[in-house]
Structure 1
């Protein structure tokens, strides 16, 4: 038999047609045939992206990291919190004052504070020099009934147990109360007063316990000048001039409209005769507005001026007002980061603390710091310590609630919520 007959009468080996191969199901193909197919190149295996997609993804990731608002919807509101105090033993105003003073500042960290010894001494000295005063609005925020607090403050001031100090044109943050014992102690320990000025003021306060304005014939002009320089009295000019100091946004919200715009009171100036000196603020308007010049008035000139009254004050009250107003402005700016100007109290507290790494139960953060490893942000590098000297979040929140800047409400899901009102 010839080879041609074996091959079927053809001298060529015919390949099966492509239609026949395609008609067979793919499952019948052998593994060898599938492996014999050419493998795709490495470029075709990469995911397909549109031009600029990587840049957009990176920008979205950056915006997500920068956006500190994880709640893009309004929080559930199940009613306002009646009182912010967590200590149920608070019953009256004196206890609330002690509570406020004891919880105003956080203790300086023992280790890894991020502050030098010089800075720590500055913080401690600043705290010690602040007056022992508390705002009436803060006391009202702690207790359940603001009207009851107001009546109690008036009664205790009439009995001589409290002293009420009012700074004009500062609104709720400028009305203070101080225990009479603390005020007398600060008056006795100061070295900037003579014995006669100190004793005469103490006698006047004992005979006029609820008086906020000093009578003109109560003390000698020299004694009044000593008390003004020491900070226990402030001269308030009532002849139409407004003492326009640098106000923050929080203090400006409580000022009268004419006090925000002009240096003189429109209500008083409108009563003056046309062309007189009173229409431009009266004598010494530039000096009383904070400027200086040849027409400035000295302390003795103010003492002899019939349009000057003297109010009780506390040394260091200006530093206290500056600290409180700046802290309230910062708290409102933190709430402004949220879409609806509201946030859970825990989230707002974390923002106030500056994202400081917390020490867990096992003390891992402390161990890492001991080994020299970086853990979060050191407390001394945050604004809480650099600008506010360790002012606690709870204290600022209570002050803001009392001042009418924020409100605290129950959410029943993420704890208490805080909402800005201005």
Structure 2
């Protein structure tokens, strides 16, 4: 007999228990007055500066926190390459203008490679005087040696009208006499008789690049201008014309005649084929280097950083870059896709830096920590 008297537990009926609802307790600091933090204004300023920093990075400018330390002048360029004399310096400048084509993964097809090589081969063997001052670091001695070599006939000094005669200009250039003779002999636009006559006159006029109007006939002058070895002197100002050297050549003219001065006045100046494309390439390279340097806040950057900007984000042969290429990851663009190869045909960074230094556009200094630094002037 079961001990339970009622059937309520068996039937599963349960009584509801009243659950006491807890009261909302007041927050102990609810009665205190709320106040804004004092650093809120600084936080807003920080937020605005961060937004400006992001905008600057989006525009391609790198925001530097402080300028580079300057502990004095740097002799990085003269210490890395030892040169003695103007002739050796000119050989170095001519041979170091362009870099070698990449053997593998150049990013250029055969047509583009042939175009780059043809452009390089067509440029004249000119060297600016400003470049020589950079690699030799002795202006007075360099000028004396240049004058001596010009008077001895080993060099020819070219004056390019309208390009400026100062250090920052592009109109003061030098060419070796042997290179000039090779260009004249290799020209297909001149006959052999005119080549010999032209070289003979240049040998007699060793100390000037001015050619008198009576030196050649009209047909010969037209042929030399079309071949690129003469340029008209009409665009050059009168105060820069060296009449003394021209008068020394024109000894057959009579000073008593009223038109003797006009007959001895230079009608042409010595030039080289494709001098215009060479000067345009040089000017564009200078401008691009300054543009890259001005991407920094204080218009200065370490030399290594500026070199990376000039070369572009190209892939390298380092271990981590090779490993990324093996895994199929992005390790950098191909050289042929960069501006260095598209517009400047592989122009060397060191070469254009030496040009800008000689022209007084930039200066090099020692940072004491990150190597040489380059500053825009």
Query: TM-score normalized by structure 2?
Result: 0.75
- Seen in structure 2, the aligned counterparts of structure 1 residues 384 and 415 have a Cα distance that, compared at 3 Å, is same
Q: Unaligned 5+ residue runs, structure 1?
A: 1-14, 19-53, 244-264, 268-303
Q: Are 1:183 and 2:176 counterparts? A: no
In the alignment, which residue of structure 2 is the partner of 1:226? 223
The residue matched to 2:77 in structure 1 has which SS? Answer: coil
Taking the aligned partners of 1:306 and 1:326, their CA distance within structure 2 comes to 37
Name the counterpart of 2:15: none
In 2, Cα distance between the equivalents of 1:93 and 1:60? 47
Instruction: Specify the SS of the correspondent of 1:187.
Output: helix
Is structure 2 residue 278 aligned with structure 1 residue 325?
Answer: no
Say whether the 8 Å CA contact 1:137–1:403 is kept in structure 2: yes
Partner of 1:144: 137
Displacement of 1:200 in angstroms is 0.7
Deviations 1:225-264 (A, max 9, x none): 1111000000121xxxx48xxxxxxxxxxxxxxxxxxxxx
Structure 2 distance, partners of 1:406, 1:58, is 31
- Mapped contact 1:112–1:369 kept (Cα < 8 A): no
Number of equivalent positions: 313
Distance 1:129 1:73 in 2: 45
Q: Which of the numbers 106, 110, 123 marks the counterpart of 1:113? A: 106
- Given candidates 150, 158, 161, the residue that maps to 2:154 is 161
Aligned to 2:206: 209
SS of equivalent residue, structure 2 residue 364 = strand
Matches for 1:382-401 after TM superposition, within 5 Å: 382-401=338-357
Q: How far 1:127 moved relative to its partner?
A: 0.2
CA distance in 1, matches of 2:62, 2:52: 17
- Give the Cα–Cα distance (whole angstroms) in 1 for the partners of residues 62 and 135 of structure 2: 29
**What's the counterpart of residue 21 of structure 1?**
none
SS at match of 1:139: helix
Match in the other structure for 2:332: 376
- TM superposition shift of 1:116: 1.4
Q: Secondary structure at the match of 1:407?
A: strand
Shift of 1:224: 1.2
Moved more, 118-127 or 366-375: 366-375
Q: Distance between the aligned counterparts of 2:154 and 2:223, measured in 1?
A: 25
Residue in structure 2 matched with residue 32 of structure 1 by the alignment: none
Q: Which position in structure 2 is the counterpart of 1:338?
A: 296
Distance between the aligned counterparts of 1:65 and 1:113, measured in 2? 29
- Residues 330 and 305 (structure 1), Cα distance of their counterparts in 2 relative to 1, 3 Å cut: farther
Query: Using a 3 Å threshold, how does the CA distance of structure 1 residues 366 and 227 change in structure 2: closer, same or farther?
Result: farther
Q: Which consecutive residues of structure 2, in runs of 5 or more, have no partner in the other structure? A: 1-19, 24-46, 240-261
How far apart are the structure 2 equivalents of 1:155 and 1:226?
Answer: 31
Structure-2 separation of matches of 1:147 and 1:306: 32
State the 1:205 CA deviation.
Answer: 1.4
- CA separation of 1:157/1:370 partners in 2, compared to 1, >3 Å: closer, same or farther? farther
Q: Which residue of 2 aligns with 1:314?
A: 272
CA 307–375 in structure 1, closer or farther in 2 if over 3 Å, else same: same
Instruction: Supply the distance in 1 between the matched residues of 2:60 and 2:190 (Cα, whole angstroms).
Output: 54
The answer to whether 1:73 aligns with 2:66 is yes
